[in-house]
Amino acid sequence: MRALVKTHAGPGLELLDVPEPPMGIDDVRIGVRKTGICGTDLHIEAWDAWAAATIKPPLVVGHEFVGEVLEIGSNVTDLQPGDVVSGEGHVVCGHCRHCRAGRWHLCARTVGLGVNRDGAFAEQVVLPVTNVWHHWPGVDEEVAAIFDPFGNAVHTALTFPVLGEDVLIVGAGPIGLMAAAVVRHAGARLVVISEPNAFRRELALRMGATHVVDPRVTALSDLQPEIGMVEGFDVVLEMSGNPGALRDALDHMAHGGRMALLGIPTEEIAIDVSKVVFNQLTLRGIYGREMYETWYKMSVMLQSGLDIRPAITHRFSHRDHEAAFAAARSGDSGKVIMDWKD
Ligand code: NAD
Ligand code: ZN
């Protein structure tokens, strides 16, 4: 089968013919139709310090996908060939305290699809049945391909109640963009997105942000009185990983405000903890998606009118993977999709 492979410790990816992945009795073989490019894939392609420390080549990369079931292991009873599915990319151990309690997203021994085991940028991918999400009828195939980052957005956006609240989203990358649509759908009043990239600010307005700011030009303290904010942001979704942006957000929260942190910083970030104490703030780290409550919520919200399709801006054949990666890296893009059936 064709697959996009990190063949050696260094930059680049190669589209190669590789053997079909083996499968066990609890596994599902999936024929991949469409995939989404994640920042993680860009790190692996570029071979930065994180990738060099984490990735053991050779590795098939990628973890955002939609496909159809081709084959089920002998222990699998609840899926049939032809079913349209995506995969939860975090494969948990199943034995630790949290796994046994059903809190799979807290498993400390998580293995990442396309990071620690062969991934989905290929004609086939194999996953344990417990990691397979059977899509509900009517789901848009491109939206299904990005359930993984959509799940990051939903898990972060719904961590704290947003009904009637004023929300700041820091960073309008694909996940921040989808989070804007989710918090609007969930009843937030003001949804402000801070983002230096003009293309993404424009997209944020289409996704449901009520206001966008370029943090290099407009101070949040100038914007807040203009848009009728009472005290400060009730909820912040940190989706940039940027140190200055995190500190700035902390400075503009209401007392009792809550911040969900999804953005992955590339360095240590110093914050003024006395602000957290005196303003009685809650800071909560978010990793991945809740299995499988987030997947359920995604499916339900799509049925009740949530539309994240404007966040998908580019489509390529898998054969044009270099152009696809360049589009994703440019910043002048939302979600970039690669087709594996064309
Ligand atoms: P992305 O890199 O495309 O988006 C980050 C955005 O932040 C960019 O548009 C960038 O221009 C913007 N930004 C940079 N500096 C800023 C500033 N000072 N103020 C406001 N915005 C600023 O990434 P994404 O795919 O949308 O993911 C968002 C973040 O979440 C990334 O940091 C990513 O690494 C992280 N992530 C975390 C998880 C998790 O499970 N915790 C999963 C996926 C992604
Ligand atoms: Zn576990």
pLDDT, one tens digit per residue, over 89-120 is 999 999 999 999 999 999 999 999 999 999 99
- What's the pLDDT score for residue 342? 86
- What's the pLDDT score for residue 325? 98
- What's the pLDDT score for residue 119? 98
Mean pLDDT of 295-320: 98
The whole model's pTM is what?
0.98
| Atom 4 of ligand 1: nearest residue by CA position | 173
Q: Where are the beta strands (DSSP E) in the chain?
A: 2-6, 14-17, 27-36, 59-60, 64-72, 84-87, 90-91, 111-112, 124-128, 132-134, 167-170, 191-194, 211-213, 233-238, 253-261, 282-285, 312-317, 335-339
Residues 6 or more apart whose Cβ sits within 8 Å of residue 181 = 207, 208, 306, 307, 308, 311
Q: Look at residue 241 and tell me whether its pLDDT is greater than 90.
A: yes
Number of the ligand 1 atom closest to the C-alpha atom of 172: 9
Q: Look at residue 288 and tell me whether its pLDDT is greater than 90.
A: yes
Q: Does 218 participate in catalysis according to the annotation?
A: no
Mean pLDDT of 239-266: 97
| Atom 28 of ligand 1: nearest residue by CA position | 239
Catalytic: which of 7, 8, 43, 63? 43
- What's the pLDDT score for residue 129? 98
Please check whether residue 175 is in contact with residue 151, taking contact to mean a CB–CB distance below 8 angstroms.
no
Catalytic: which of 7, 8, 35, 40? 40
- What's the pLDDT score for residue 333? 98
Q: Look at residue 204 and tell me whether its pLDDT is greater than 90.
A: yes
Q: Look at residue 15 and tell me whether its pLDDT is greater than 90.
A: yes
Residues 6 or more apart whose Cβ sits within 8 Å of residue 337 = 34, 35, 36, 37, 142, 145, 146, 312, 314, 315, 316
For the chain, what is the mean pLDDT? 98
- What's the pLDDT score for residue 230? 84
Query: For residue 40, what pLDDT band results from cuts at 50, 70 and 90?
Result: very high
